[in-house]
Amino acid sequence: MDTLYPWPEPETLSSNKKRVIQKLVEGQQCATELQVIVLHNNKPPQQAEELVQKILWSFNQTLSMLAEAGHHDEVISQNQATCNDDCKSQDSSESSKRSLSAFVKDKRGCYKRKRFAQTKIVVSDKIEDGHAWRKYGQKNILHSKHPRSYFRCSHKHDQGCSAIKQVQRMEDDAQMYHITYIGTHTCRDQYSSMATPRIDSPSPILKLESEEQATTPSDVTDLDSMTMWTDVMMGGVGFEIDVVSNMYSCTEITCLDLEPVELENGLLFDDTDFA
DNA sequence: CGAATTTGACCTGA
DNA sequence: TCAGGTCAAATTCG
């Protein structure tokens, strides 16, 4: 399989958690230093470059670990569940029969399940991302200690924003959240500080992007999507993986002009999407 | 009192 | 058939 990177399931990911976290912390520390240098000293490009290299190396190490632990799993392909737009939308006579009682009662369940056009996964200790979300459901997941919460953009109705996200605590580290973003924000709610008042400042560690339609260049540069991820990374360094193109992107909130860096496995760091 | 969350019912897809 | 996703009434919150 040469189109999908063998990304591990979150459970597998956690087996390397200590090393992963260590490396990610290194990366974050370097990023913090870099941020100070760039924002306040406004110069030494050489020093900045060194730090950038360290950051990239740390994240590269992390990726390698994760890739080692991983296997050809469905986590990604599931996430990019093909979007057959014309999936059965009209209710069949079968479902009509089944809906009879529901019709009498209410309209619960009368919906069309979305097919994911774009899915991104974030592992973070915070779930705040700068957007306003409305919780619309919660489910206990089989073999999972923690329930999964379902959120949709608060501007779904007033602005027609179709972005949703699912949040679930990690199995063996309840401090960490496994957050799946589905769809992109079309609303104008960027950086609303009070978006998710219950959550502290964000510091996402890892994110995985899976775009089933990523073959379209416009998807890669989708402004809403990028803005969303910039939101997610407020206050820290984020890491994005374009699964389809096998391209890793290291990004920093201040949008530094990082040079694309070739990684092992022929992967590439590139921040151009966020510049 | 309006907005947000909770919760159980119901539908979809594998 | 059933796990997971969504809906909307009921409940809670500010």
Whole-angstrom distance, CA of residue A151 vs CA of residue A266: 36
Whole-angstrom distance, CA of residue A83 vs CA of residue A5: 20
The tens digit of pLDDT for each residue in A185-233 reads: 777 654 443 333 333 333 333 344 443 333 333 333 332 333 333 333 3
The tens digit of pLDDT for each residue in A117-168 reads: 567 788 888 888 778 899 999 999 888 888 999 999 888 777 778 888 899 8
Q: What's the CA–C1' distance between A14 and C14, in Å?
A: 39
Please tell me whether any atom of strand B lies within 7 Å of the Cβ of A114: no
- The residues, any chain, with a CB within 8 Å of residue A169's CB and separated by 6 or more, are A145, A146, A176, A177, A178
* Residue A48, helix vs strand vs coil: helix
Q: What's the CA–C1' distance between A151 and B4, in Å?
A: 12
Q: What's the CA–C1' distance between A187 and C14, in Å?
A: 25
Please tell me whether any atom of strand C lies within 7 Å of the Cβ of A141: yes
Please tell me whether any atom of strand B lies within 7 Å of the Cβ of A192: no
Say how many C-beta atoms besides its own lie within 10 A of residue A72's C-beta.
12
The tens digit of pLDDT for each residue in A54-73 reads: 665 665 555 445 544 443 33
The tens digit of pLDDT for each residue in A167-187 reads: 988 887 778 888 888 887 777
The tens digit of pLDDT for each residue in A2-50 reads: 333 334 434 344 444 555 656 665 666 666 666 556 556 555 566 666 6
Sheet holding A237-242, edge to edge: A133-139, A148-153, A164-169, A177-182, A118-124, A206-211, A237-242, A247-252, A268-269, A261-262
Nucleotides of strand B lying closer than 7 angstroms to a protein CB: 4-14
Report chain A's mean pLDDT, rounded to a whole number.
53
Q: What's the CA–C1' distance between A20 and C3, in Å?
A: 31
Q: Which of residues 162-191 of A touch strand C (CB under 7 A)?
A: 164, 166
Cα A95 from chain centre: 34
Nearest to A129 by CA among A185, A79, A174, A170: A185
